[in-house]
Amino acid sequence: SQQGEEDPQALSIQEGENATMNCSYKTSINNLQWYRQNSGRGLVHLILIRSNEREKHSGRLRVTLDTSKKSSSLLITASRAADTASYFCATAGGETSGSRLTFGEGTQLTVNP
Amino acid sequence: DSGVTQTPKHLITATGQRVTLRCSPRSGDLSVYWYQQSLDQGLQFLIQYYNGEERAKGNILERFSAQQFPDLHSELNLSSLELGDSALYFCASSFGLAKTEQFFGPGTRLTVL
């Protein structure tokens, strides 16, 4: 079963706009990671945020983590048509769950030129 | 390019058959993970190997098995295939056992007819 739920399931914006995707999870985590998947292709690692971090930046990406609410958000600023893809959050859990990743259901982002 | 390679890219077979999917991790990575992505179940963790030994098991069916060889490449064996086994199978690798980024291969698309 999926650990997380992503919101929205689909998002359509114009080039240059910002895109925000949210992820909620259920159990305690060690870290949360965001991945991008172009249609039917492999997953590309975007960013990892640890449970003791609240915000992280990488280029046009900004990730926040609120462990009290068990939620995270991914913000893509100044979006481009090439950002069109599915975005997944994945959690790595506590001691007993090893280093496996538990994925959310993903947000399909479409950036219109 | 993540550095993780998977073969074959596509596999079409019939129900009841057996197939083997192959994965080569990034150079220096000791952990290999297998994930299944299907429309109804999403992305699910199957199994993890570290330096040749099984470390964690997810919702892997008894008809499925895997191993990691001394050269660290891994194989996922799927037998008595059913229509519902049609999915994308991903291999990922990471350096150690710590909860860090996992780097995904391009996947093998399995179609069972």
CB contact A33 to B (< 8 Å): yes
Read out DSSP for B10-58? Answer: EEEE-TT--EEEEEEPPTT--EEEEEEEETTTEEEEEEEEETTEEEEE-
CB contact B51 to A (< 8 Å): no
Nearest to A103 among B31, B43, B107 (CB): B43
B48/A100 touch (CB, cutoff 8 Å), yes or no: yes
* Phi, psi torsion values for B55, nearest 5 degrees: -115, -35
* Phi, psi torsion values for A47, nearest 5 degrees: -165, 150
Read out DSSP for B48-88? Answer: EEETTEEEEE-S--TTEEEEE-TTS-EEEEE-S--GGG-EE
Average pLDDT score, chain B: 94
pLDDT at A2: 41
Closest approach of A85 to chain B, Cα-based (Å): 15
Write out chain A's pLDDT in tens, 113 residues: 345 678 889 999 999 999 999 999 998 888 999 999 998 789 999 999 999 999 999 999 999 999 999 999 999 999 999 999 999 999 987 655 567 899 999 999 999 99
pLDDT at A94: 63
Contact predicate A71/A91, CB 8 Å: no
- Bin A46: left if φ > 0, else alpha if -120 < ψ < 50, else beta: alpha
If you count them, how many residues does chain A have? Answer: 113
CB contact A51 to B (< 8 Å): no
pLDDT at A76: 98
